[in-house]
């Protein structure tokens, strides 16, 4: 051997030795759970080599192979193989981290893609990397619905397996009447609405019931047939919850709305471009349901709802459009006869257009085609999902593409997922879930004169912390953060008002600040400010102390009077 190596046990572990001629060399050593690719040799400074890890182990970077260089301190980085769990390869699992592996005891949070859920029927879960691998194994399964049953009827389309967002339509055989929804959609909790039944005989309904703070619109009859509808409206100041139309379903009126007092009011009706409201009385507040008529300037015509209506604190106003506005052919419309895109059509002009082989007519109505010369088949969505543990106050009817509904969970349940979903191409987007708030917390409590300093979420894990900050000139009292502790937030801090010291007040009381340190003219609650009499003035014997304390935003100034 050419070199005499000074190697101690400690050195050997890092693979570093110093040779006789004082050049540094590194040697190969036994890497626990790993191995060097080269089987023998010693390495000079800046020599690089490769090592590998045994199955189930990786480098610190999560790779099966790593490179290391012989430096003054030995091998850098130190060749190490550690126990790791590789992220499962499943396109339906979305991980909260981009790291390819998890270290031992590391927790991995995952969510399932749209249409999938965990084995416990949750939107996502967590798994821990153990010596034996993932526990439990992260898994996302397809959401499936059983084949619905409809006696004396048929279901369309027929499939062997229905999955999330599938829509089925129901029809009854001749001589039978459908009682219930005409369609349903597959969700994580099954079909919604419930499939209907097919009945040979349906019962007519008696007069629809009265509701408090609301009225029926239209004439009353003695009897109503199955499927007949009646609309309701609420008195001014009352907002409607639920469907505005009730339906006679086999002898019973269903989907009755309720009228709840609406506290939000509207300000004066706003002016609109090329038009204005007709002010009858100069009221500054208008109740929910109140109406105001709008008119347009000359040559403009009104479009939209007139009179305008105050709805939950906001005016729903019409718009004024140029009465003589012309129309152009929409890009994809096939006008008959052919019209170039540059051609202008006068107001009131009717034209024909083709959809496939059928001819339709549309009219230019103050700059807009009515109806839109589109060839889309109108796709309806089934009545909205009756989400478990949600406050189901959404109108039960078929919705058009593009319409939106929103969800609110019952108390003690947390909304997971989107608050609003859209009716798109005949089916509803995947709705959120209302999950039991076991150990989790909802929105952190709000505080007066302060705000949450972190990004606000609707759902927090047990142990989560949320910080608060006070508005300018307010002082934080208590711990400036809350913790989510098994479903409840710890006590929130308070923001107490500061006292503002004005030149005006000081001049009035013939005083000035003892220490004219900077322009700090406010002090926080609990702090003191010290005053002195202005030159030529002396303390009023009945004055409050010259060291004034700010209590909850209030402070008593001392008083000085002219000295004689
Ligand atoms: C290390 O350097 C010496 C000269 O300084 C050279 O003789 C030897 O071959 C080198 N060893 C390796 C492994 O490159
Ligand atoms: C080690 O480094 C020396 C230069 O310091 C270089 O000449 C030699 O080729 C390297 N050997 C290996 C095996 O990389
Ligand atoms: C958390 O609270 C629930 C009731 O809200 C209780 O049943 C449970 O034992 C509590 N868990 C812990 C760890 O305190
Ligand atoms: C301040 O002094 C004036 C006389 O210069 C006096 O009239 C006035 O009452 C004093 N202010 C107060 C609050 O006593």
The C-alpha atoms of residue 262 and residue 512 are separated, in whole angstroms, by: 51
- pLDDT, residue 183, reads 95
- Show the low-confidence residues of the chain (pLDDT under 70): 1-24, 516-520
pLDDT tens per residue across span 516-559: 655 557 777 778 888 999 999 999 988 998 988 888 778 899 99
Cα separation, 369 vs 349, in Å, equals: 10
Distance between CA atoms of 228 and 204, rounded to whole angstroms? 9
- Looking at residue 21, its pLDDT comes to 58
| Ordered structural domains, the chain, with CATH | 5-83 (2.10.70.10), 87-142 (2.10.70.10), 144-201+379-436 (2.10.70.10), 214-261 (2.10.70.10), 450-496 (2.10.70.10), 499-562 (2.10.70.10)
Q: What is the pLDDT of residue 52?
A: 93
Half-sphere exposure of 196 (CA within 13 A, CB side): 25
- The answer to whether 380 and 426 are in contact (CB under 8 A) is yes
Tokens standing for 79?
Answer: 């060749």
User: Other CB atoms closer than 10 Å to residue 163's CB: what's the count?
Assistant: 13
pLDDT for res 168: 96
**Residue 77 CA from chain centroid, whole number:** 44
Tally: H helices and E strands in the chain: 2, 61
pLDDT at 24: 64
Q: Report pLDDT for 408.
A: 85
Q: From ligand 4's centre to the CA of 473, what distance in Å? A: 29
Q: Is the distance from CB of 176 to CB of 202 less than 8 angstroms?
A: no
Length of the chain, in residues = 564
Angle at CA 291, nearest 5°, toward 286 and 295? 120
Assess whether the C-beta atom of 487 lies below 6 angstroms from ligand 3.
Answer: yes
What's the pLDDT at 106?
84
Q: Whose CA is nearest to atom 8 of ligand 1?
A: 44
Rounded to the nearest angstrom, the distance between the alpha carbon of 546 and the centre of ligand 4 is 16
Closest residue to atom 6 of ligand 1, CA basis: 44
Looking at residue 232, its pLDDT comes to 92
73 vs 11, 12, 40, 82, 438, CA distance in Å? 10, 12, 20, 21, 52
- With a 6 Å cutoff on the Cβ, whether 559 touches ligand 4 is yes
- Among protein residues, the one with the nearest Cα to ligand 4's atom 7 is 561
For residue range 353-402, list pLDDT tens digits in order.
988 888 889 999 888 888 888 887 777 899 999 999 988 777 778 888 88
Give the pLDDT of residue 6. 47
Can you read off the two tokens belonging to residue 435? 């999950």
Choose among 396, 423, 392: nearest CA to 409: 392
Nearest CA to ligand 2 atom 12: 47
Cβ–Cβ < 8 Å for 296, 320: yes
Mutate which of 23, 27, 42, 44 for ligand 1 pocket (most atoms within 8 A of beta carbon): 44
């Amino acid at each position: 051997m050419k070199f005499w190596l000074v190697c101690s046990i400690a050195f050997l572990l890092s693979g570093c030795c110093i040779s006789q001629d004082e050049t540094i060399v590194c040697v190969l050593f036994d890497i626990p759970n790993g191995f060097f690719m080269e089987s023998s040799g010693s390495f000079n400074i800046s020599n690089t080599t490769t090592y590998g890890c045994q199955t189930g182990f990786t480098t610190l970077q999560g790779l099966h192979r790593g490179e290391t260089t012989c430096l003054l301190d030995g091998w850098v980085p130190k060749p190490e193989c550690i126990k790791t769990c590789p992220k499962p390869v499943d396109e339906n699992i979305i991980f909260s981290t981009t790291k390819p592996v998890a270290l031992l005891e590391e927790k991995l949070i995952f969510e399932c893609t749209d249409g999938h859920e965990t084995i416990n029927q949750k939107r996502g879960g967590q798994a821990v990397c153990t010596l034996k691998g993932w526990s439990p194994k992260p898994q996302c399964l397809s959401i499936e619905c059983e084949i619905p049953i409809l006696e004396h009827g048929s279901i369309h389309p027929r499939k062997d397996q229905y999955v999330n967002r599938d829509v089925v339509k129901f029809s009854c055989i001749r001589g039978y009447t459908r009682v219930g929804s005409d369609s349903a959609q597959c969700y994580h909790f099954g079909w919604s609405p419930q499939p209907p039944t097919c009945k040979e005989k349906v019962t007519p309904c008696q007069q629809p019931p009265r509701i408090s703070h609301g009225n029926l619109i239209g004439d009353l009859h003695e009897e109503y047939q199955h499927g007949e509808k009646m609309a309701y409206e609420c008195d001014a100041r009352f907002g409607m919850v639920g469907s505005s139309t009730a339906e006679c379903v086999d002898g019973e009126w269903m989907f009755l709305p309720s009228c709840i007092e609406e506290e939000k009011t509207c300000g004066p009706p706003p002016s609109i471009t090329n038009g204005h409201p007709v002010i009858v009385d100069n009221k500054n507040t208008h109740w929910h349901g109140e109406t105001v008529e709008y008119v347009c300037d000359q040559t403009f015509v009104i479009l939209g709802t007139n009179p305008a209506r105050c709805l939950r604190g906001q005016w729903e106003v019409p718009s004024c459009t140029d009465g003589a506005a012309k129309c152009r052919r929409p890009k994809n419309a096939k006008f008959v006869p052919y019209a170039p895109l540059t051609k202008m059509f006068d107001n009131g002009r009717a034209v024909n257009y083709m959809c496939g082989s059928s001819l339709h007519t549309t009219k230019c109505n103050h700059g807009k085609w009515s109806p839109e010369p589109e060839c889309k088949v109108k796709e309806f969505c089934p009545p909205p999902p009756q989400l478990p543990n949600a406050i189901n106050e959404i109108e039960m009817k078929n919705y058009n593409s593009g319409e939106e509904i929103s969800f609110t969970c019952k108390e003690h349940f947390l909304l997971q997922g989107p608050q609003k979903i859209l009716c798109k191409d005949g089916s509803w987007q995947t709705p959120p879930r209302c999950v039991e708030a076991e150990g989790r917390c909802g929105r952190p409590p709000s505080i007066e004169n302060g705000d949450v300093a972190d990004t606000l979420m609707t759902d927090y894990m047990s142990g989560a912390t949320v910080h608060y900050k006070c508005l300018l000139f307010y002082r934080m009292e208590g711990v400036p953060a809350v913790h989510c502790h098994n479903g409840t937030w710890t006590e929130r801090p308070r923001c107490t008002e500061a006292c503002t010291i004005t030149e005006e007040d000081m001049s009035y009381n013939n005083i000035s600040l003892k220490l004219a340190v900077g322009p700090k003219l406010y002090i926080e609650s609990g702090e003191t400010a010290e005053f002195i009499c202005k030159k030529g003035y002396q303390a009023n014997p009945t004055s409050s102390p010259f060291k004034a304390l700010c209590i909850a935003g209030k402070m008593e100034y001392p008083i000085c009077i002219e000295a004689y």
